[in-house]
Amino acid sequence: MAHGPPDVPTDPGTATPDVEHGPADRDLLGLELHGGGRSSFVLTSPLTRFDGKLYGGTAIAVAIAAAEAATGRRARWCTTQFTASADIGDVIACDAEVLAHGRRASQVRVTATLGGRTVFSALAATADPKPGGLTGTYRPMPQVTSFEDSEPYRVPAPAEVLPDEPSGFEQLIEIRTSRPLEKGPPGRMVFWTRARGAMATPAVLGFLADMVPVSIARAAGRAGGGMSLDNTLRIGPPAATDWVLAELEPHLATGGIGHGAAYLWSAEGGLLAVGSQTSSMLLFD
């Protein structure tokens, strides 16, 4: 089912039931709904990288929030592709098209533009749970120190870029490096992280998962990060939690392109989401 034509505005409050966490996510991201699947947000400093450009985690969070608002269903998967950058103050327009709307699941495409140029594109599925449908977690949670016993951490960045004070997305999230309480697989990095004042909704999990390239560089014995080509998130059941354990798992790099995953856990041991990412690697040492 396609969404309504753009010249026939609909009231999203009546046309589509809102997801429970929709208002909180849109408040965090500054995302305004305009009806008919359309929305927009102003790129503010907490939604950027250290260099003041759009942060990848922001894009996937916005895509998830837009897909949920367009369908009234909880996001289950989202992939966001980055094609152009944007600067602080830019107003980015998002169009969520519902390409299929089944009894339980919807398939959505979100296109974000700035002056006619595509900044990011996303594909996403939202779905209502099937009563009695298969439910379970098939992976063990890493055993590490609690967030109370873990130390503040800053993501690696070149000295000339890393500001003294929290800057860009660091204003929105908190990260603590945990210590392992067991021998993990080689290359694994584990952090505690949360968005300040926000629960771990699908959109917030997307924002938090954008850290995989750090682990790829470290697995290679280097300090570095990456320019994401995409961010992907697969989402599990809801949980009333803010702190999330991010287990980063580097997979491989070839000719400067790196791949890896991020498993996001609640403090209680629930697997909340699985992120994955391909990026053009940047090494700082």
Interaction site with its own copies (CB under 8 A) = 76-77, 79, 81-84, 99-100, 104-105, 107, 109, 118, 121-123, 125, 127-131, 133-140, 185-187, 216-217, 219-220, 222, 224, 229-230, 232, 234, 236-237, 249-261, 263, 271, 274, 276, 278, 280-281, 283
Query: With respect to its own copies, which residue has the nearer C-beta, 44 or 81?
Result: 81
State the nearest-atom distance from the C-beta of 209 to its own copies, in Å.
13
* Contact between 222 and 232 (Cβ < 8 Å): no
Q: Which is nearer to its own copies, 14 or 254 (CB)?
A: 254
Q: How far is the CB of 285 from its own copies (least distance, A)?
A: 12
Distances (CA, A) of 27 to 23, 41, 109, 186, 263: 6, 10, 22, 39, 26
Residue 14 or 138: which CB sits closer to its own copies? 138
Are 233 and 282 in contact, with CB atoms under 8 Å apart? no
First to last CA, the chain: 50
Minimum separation from the CB atom of position 250 to its own copies (A): 4
Write down the residue that tokens 């994401």 correspond to.
Answer: 228
- Cβ nearer to its own copies, comparing 94 with 122: 122
Q: How far is the CB of 124 from its own copies (least distance, A)?
A: 8
Q: Shortest distance, CB of residue 234 to its own copies, whole angstroms?
A: 4
Residues 37 and 96: beta-carbon distance below 8 Å: yes
Question: Considering beta carbons, is residue 111 or 171 the nearer one to its own copies?
Answer: 111
Task: Report the candidate in 7, 60, 74, 64 with the shortest Cα–Cα distance to residue 36.
Answer: 7
Residue 280: how many CA atoms within 13 Å on its side-chain side?
A: 4
